[in-house]
Amino acid sequence: MRTYIGFDDTDVVDADRGTGKLARWFEEKLPDGCKLWGVVRQQFPQDERIPFTANNSSACVVVDTEKDVVLDEFIERATNHIREHFMEGSDPGLCVVPEGSSAIPSLIEFGRICSARVVTQKEAMAAAKGVHLSGHGGTNDGIIGAAAGVGLTLSGTSGRFVEFGKLKEYPGITTVESIENNGIKVVALDRNAVVPWREDTVETEGWVRPRLWGHAPVLPVWYVGENRWRVAEAKKNRKRKVTVAA
């Protein structure tokens, strides 16, 4: 069984942590028999009519369970996690959705709507009818991003992973085989590029952040030269530093 847990608006300007980090930390709070599949960051419009801290994004934690886990346990742990780590002055929201929920189609549609226009808390609550959606402080506007973040993740075609397997352990230069052995498909973006081969090298610039495409993690790369590739997206303002695994 797979469960989707959306967090939003848990930080403030100049905070030492953002919602993405809070979401990644939730792995430590998972019940026994649960395993983190990944954490997906979802981006929303940076519209002046929408209050947001830095980038107007939310995070969706995707969890796999080996046995039936009472949904209330996820809700309780996630709620306590917000209380422990949110920043005063923020407007936290939480959305918890189990695989197979009847609310999934409306949440997917809601997520897409949030990418196109300004929405209200009332619309978020209507989209999440039948699943858990709650605010935990301030204006409670975080319920909008939490619900939309879950919806876009459920669509399987939006967002990028900020946690998946060994994302942070890749050296500056690695191989296609190493990345794909971690469950991430490497895909060329160039119009006439060949297919990346297992022994080909990938220049990561210390920043491997796969996209959620086709309900799976996919790393887009550009062709650099014979048997060489470079990640399509590097971290902004990151100084170029390449190290090679021994």
Domains of the chain, by residue range, sit at 2-161, 165-231
Question: What's the half-sphere exposure (Cβ side, CA atoms, 13 Å) at 94?
Answer: 21
Q: Which of 98, 78, 86, 94 is nearest to 147 (CA)?
A: 94
Query: What pLDDT shows up at residue 66?
Result: 76
| Averaged pLDDT for residues 62-90 | 88
244 — pLDDT class (breaks 50, 70, 90): very low
Query: What pLDDT shows up at residue 241?
Result: 40
CA separation for the pair 159, 6 (Å, rounded): 13
How many other CB atoms sit within 10 Å of the CB of residue 98? 17
How many other CB atoms sit within 10 Å of the CB of residue 85? 18
Q: Please say whether the structural domain 2-161 has been given the CATH code 3.40.640.10.
A: no
Question: Residues 40-57: pLDDT tens digits?
Answer: 999 987 555 555 455 678
Q: Which residues have a Cβ under 8 Å from the Cβ of 100 and sit 6 or more positions away?
A: none
Question: What's the half-sphere exposure (Cβ side, CA atoms, 13 Å) at 191?
Answer: 0
C-alpha torsion sign, points 212, 81, 121, 117? negative
Question: What does the chain look like in DSSP terms, one character per residue?
Answer: -EEEEEEE----TT-S--HHHHHHHGGGGPPTTEEEEEEEEEE----TTS--SSS-EEEEEEEEESS---HHHHHHHHHHHHHHHPPTT---EEEEEETT-TTHHHHHHHHHHHTTS---HHHHHHHTTTSEEEE-STT-THHHHHHHHHHHHHHTSS-EEEESTTGGG--SEEEHHHHHTTT-EEEE-STTPPPPPTT-EEE-TT----EEETTEEEEEEEEEETTEEEES---TTPPP---B--
Question: Residues 189-200: pLDDT tens digits?
Answer: 988 888 999 999
Question: What does 52-90 look like in DSSP terms, one character per residue?
Answer: -SSS-EEEEEEEEESS---HHHHHHHHHHHHHHHPPTT-
Provide the residue count of the chain: 246
Query: What pLDDT shows up at residue 56?
Result: 75
**Do residues 93 and 9 lie in contact, with contact meaning Cβ atoms separated by under 8 Å?**
yes
Question: Residues 111-164: pLDDT tens digits?
Answer: 999 988 889 999 999 999 999 999 998 889 899 999 999 999 999 999 999 999
